[in-house]
A and B are shown apart, each in its own frame.
Chain A
């Protein structure tokens, strides 16, 4: 594969612009407050673009399109809920959180419940959520550089991780507010322009879906393609196809006894599952059915491959769908790296207006990635066979004619993808390093540390967290980006969201209630996700723990998508335990409510932390 040098230039351009903007902004950074929350002086439009820029991650820019191509209709819930999450953030969290006037979610936890101990528990969940969310960004980095520069996966992870970590260490939050805002516009441009041009070239969005729906069309190779497979690769054909193996080797049909393939002979296969027992290179002629492409009916309709292993059991698929919706919608309102941005608004009213603008911005953005997924099924079907649908956004623009336009569009989407994981990773790193330096160091280890020492601690934390993310990022190549992100949301939805929602709107929430709710919801969801990850490792392409789904599909679904039980569990625990510990309701709870809800126009309250 040739290297598209235009893409290389675009990626370096984005990296250079990001770093130089960050460095330029550093000169303006003076105080600790500047460093953490940009001195709370960011206006709504700038802040909204920065929030959107930070939020639209590798999962949104690359992951959704690839997953729509791979799984079909069900994946549309991801972008819908990514956007709808901001509605819930707006309704229950945005303005009161800003009014409370703390720096971070742990600050809120300690301030609202008068408990340094509870703060530590919340810090742990901030770190867990941040860490889970960093992994898919690392994967995005690895895949992008692999696709554009032909570098091994690990090089992308290490190089990008190092560059961003350095940038965060130098700039802090103020450094990235401008940069995040800039990157939002870059991403919107980088996805919308290619989509418009591709639609003009290939025909309308609707007609492509109809192709599948009405004509039950199966993806076929658009050109003769040779694909290298490792031993043990599985090829599923939804219709009869033919291929020529380059080497002799054994193959297993539908799990039965092994047959041998002879090099250079043409094999016609009917629909079914083939397992290559030896590594091989298969050549498919143009027009042959693509292996591993889902059947059109399954793909274009709800309750397909994403939501369950068995196409027959739609009840479980619906359960999975609901659980996914709950996780993402409530999880967004509990994401620490997003919530920290709300403190940068000037007041609570502005926090609401900012969220409204964010909803407009990301709502617009999320209409585009599914279009690429639909086009990809028809025009880049070889990605199914290669198992690299995650790269769709980086590959599809190359299918357009003339060639010079294809090269430009490839560079544009490569730049967008780079901006996507770069901005989200920066934001996460700030949030996680903030938790480590501000909460762990500044509050627990050395409360009397000087400003200078705190800033030093922040940089050291960034270095530690960045390195940890790079190392873990090397091991997640097999997982779909959105699957990883979805897990971070599920944990946030079961731990931090209930704390924020009840803490803000229910004054009888007690320390014992909130602690037990956060622990029970957060730990049970984390545990079931980790078990799913470990059990499902053999075939992570299917979004569930394979071993477990064979034992009990209901349990597997509930563990792969825990939010549907863990979120109610967390809320119920908080309500019930608070009921039994009424005496613990802090005496100053009304003062808390005043601080959370009184409009700034009254001039009553001060920020929880001033300088």
Chain B
């Protein structure tokens, strides 16, 4: 069973994991053993590729994250691990950052796709400027009025989702 499967394939039962790798230090090379015996070494750094395509990790927090065995025994709380930026703690923080970043990028691209298509519509279709809706030419109506509620709705979606992610994260590590 995979601990970090792609989106939508997550298995709900918890793997029994073990620690693996150099036990003596908090080095990056340390990873975790998944229930099926495969090694999982978390990618603790960002790279160019995942700046653009950073969607390959699970996009929600759940108990499966906690199922990673704490490599430094039980003496530390998860919160402390996050604070001290041990390999184990980094996994948690990275998840939060990636999730937030994926959210930000998806909202940004949605908005840019809408706003940047308006000049194209005007350029290639004559109708966009001449169809009259509620007394207004469609292009005026959209750009001078309708776009503002649209921006706000996108922003509202972002804020509520980002708050939710943080609450989940906080609950998980505390």
A590 at interface (Cβ–Cβ under 8 A)?
Answer: yes
Interface centre among B47, B100, B111, B148 (most CB of A within 10 A): B148
Task: Report yes or no: A597 in contact with B170, Cβ–Cβ below 8 A.
Answer: no
Contact between chains at A92 and B85 (CB < 8 Å): no
User: Complex Cα distance A371/B122, Å?
Assistant: 21
Q: Which residues of B137-174 are within 8 A (CB) of A? A: 137, 139-140, 143-145, 147-149, 151-152, 154-156, 158-159, 162-163, 166-167, 169-170, 173-174
How many B residues have CB within 8 A of the partner chain? 56
Pair B156/A505 contact, Cβ less than 8 Å: no
B60 within 8 A of A: no
In the complex, which residues of chain A have a beta carbon less than 8 angstroms from the beta carbon of B140?
73, 76, 209, 300
Which residues of A in the span 301-355 have a Cβ within 8 Å of any Cβ on B? 301-303, 314, 318, 321-322, 325, 329, 349, 352-353, 355
Evaluate contact between A91 and B108: CB separation under 8 angstroms.
Answer: yes
Q: CA A515 – CA B48 in complex, angstroms?
A: 18
With A90-B159, A300-B137, A352-B162 given, is the CB distance from A80 to B147 under 8 Å? yes
B166-A360 in contact (CB<8A): no
**Cβ–Cβ contact A204 & B135, under 8 A:** yes
Contact of A599 among B51, B85, B170 (CB under 8 A): B170
Q: Mark each residue of chain B from 86 to 112: 1 if its CB lies under 8 Å from any CB of chain A, else 0.
A: 000010010011001100100110010
Q: How far is the CB of B93 from chain A (nearest CB, A)?
A: 6
Name the interface size band of chain A.
Answer: 35 or more
Q: Is B79 an interface residue (CB 8 A)?
A: yes
Quick check: A302 and B119 within 8 Å, CB to CB? Answer: yes
A270 within 8 A of B: no
* Residues of chain B contacted by A318 (CB below 8 angstroms): 119-120, 123
Q: How far is the CA of A80 from the CA of B139 in the complex (A)?
A: 13
Are A209 and B147 in contact, CB atoms less than 8 angstroms apart? no
Distance (whole angstroms) from the CB of B106 to the closest CB of chain A = 10
Q: Tell which of A26-34, A49-57, A180-188, A362-370 binds the partner.
A: A362-370
The answer to whether B158 touches A322 (Cβ under 8 A) is no
Interface string of A360-382 (1 = CB under 8 A from B): 10011011001000000000000
Contact B119 A590 (CB under 8 A): no
Judge if B55 is at the interface, Cβ distance under 8 Å: no
Contacts of B24 in A (CB 8 A): none
Q: Which of B12-20, B31-39, B61-69, B126-134 contacts A (4 or more CB under 8 A)?
A: B126-134
Query: Does B148 lie within 8 Å of A83, measured CB to CB?
Result: yes
Residues of A499-515 at the interface with B, using a CB-CB cut-off of 8 Å, are 505-508
B82 contacts the other chain (Cβ, under 8 Å)? yes
Considering residues B45, B104, B119, B123, which has the most beta carbons from chain A within 10 angstroms of its beta carbon? B119
> Residues of B contacting A356 with CB < 8 Å?
152, 155-156, 159
What is the distance, in angstroms, from B126's C-beta to the closest C-beta of chain A? 9
Tell me if A281 is interfacial: C-beta within 8 Å of chain B.
Answer: no
Q: A206-B135, A322-B119 are in contact. Are A367 and B144 (CB under 8 A)?
A: yes
Contact A325 B116 (CB under 8 A): yes
Say yes or no: A594 contacts B93, CB within 8 Å. yes
Offer 28 A-B interface pairs, CB within 8 angstroms, sorted by A. A79-B144, A84-B151, A87-B108, A87-B155, A90-B158, A91-B108, A92-B104, A92-B108, A95-B162, A206-B134, A213-B130, A301-B122, A314-B123, A318-B120, A322-B116, A325-B115, A349-B163, A349-B166, A352-B163, A359-B152, A507-B46, A508-B47, A575-B48, A579-B48, A593-B93, A597-B93, A597-B97, A601-B167
Beyond A207-B135, A363-B151, 20 additional contacts (C-beta under 8 Å) are A84-B111, A87-B107, A87-B155, A90-B159, A205-B136, A300-B129, A301-B122, A329-B115, A363-B148, A505-B51, A506-B46, A508-B48, A575-B51, A591-B85, A593-B93, A597-B96, A597-B100, A601-B166, A602-B170, A604-B79
